[in-house]
Structure formats: structure tokens, C-alpha cells
Amino acid sequence: MTRLDVLRISTFVIAVASAPALHAADGDPAAGKAKNSMCVGCHGIGGYKTVFPEVYSVPKIGGQHAAYIVKALQEYKSGNRSHPSMRAIAAGLSDKDMADLAAYYASDAMKSAAK
């Protein structure tokens, strides 16, 4: 890991920690589950790798903190994160969609499934 990588990760962690949890607490897990079809095809498969735009191990996001998921989706939507597939998906999400998906993936049911 380069110093630049460490700086980018540190900056992202600080931004997540200091930013208000934009609607993450207002998310509805049931609504997120209903909106999950565009996510589960990649993020629901353990060990899944995509080959576009390069070989990339797709993380399982079940059990992740809701605020982190919302912030990551916002970063993709704004272009601050550059994965083309995620940017395209996030571009079509509203703040409410992001909060709902984050609430679903952070829910106790998803935490148990992630283990």
C-alpha cells in the first residue's frame, strides 16, 4: 500500500466519521430489501470477482455500517469514486434509496448472513 493509498483511505474514514449520517438512520430495511435487485447480483456472492473494468474482488456488504454505505454510494454518484458500474448504479439512486439500501445491508439479518 502506497502513502497515497493510506492518505485516500484516511481521508475517506475521516469524511465518513465527521459527516452527518445522511439519512442513514432514516432508512427502511424492508424498502431496501425491495430495492436490492441491482446490488445482490454482485454483493451477495461470496468470493465474486468482476472483470470490468479490471479484475476486481467484489466485497460482500452485508453487516457494513449504514453510514459507510450511504457515504460510499454518494461518492460513486458524485464521481469521487470511479468504478464505472457502481457510478452508473449510484447515479440512479435518490438519497432515500441510498438510506434504504444502507439500512437493509446494515440490518441484523444481513449481519448474521455475513458471518
57-90 pLDDT, tens digit per residue, is 888 899 999 999 999 999 999 999 988 999 999 9
Instruction: Give the integer Cα–Cα distance in Å for 102 and 105.
Output: 5
Q: Is the pLDDT of residue 10 over 70?
A: no
Q: What is the arithmetic mean of pLDDT over 90-97?
A: 96
Q: What is the pLDDT of residue 21?
A: 47
Beta partners for residue 50, in sequence order: 56
Cα–Cα distance, 66 to 46 (Å, whole number):
20
The mean per-residue pLDDT over the stretch 17-33 comes to 72
List the CATH number of the domain containing 32: 1.10.760.10
pTM of the complete model: 0.74
| Contact call for residues 28 and 19 (beta carbons, < 8 A) | no
Query: Residue 4 above 90 pLDDT?
Result: no
Would residue 15 count as lying in a domain?
Answer: no
Q: How many CB atoms lie within 10 A of CB 91?
A: 11
- For the chain, the domain total comes to 1
Structural domain of residue 100, as residue ranges?
21-114
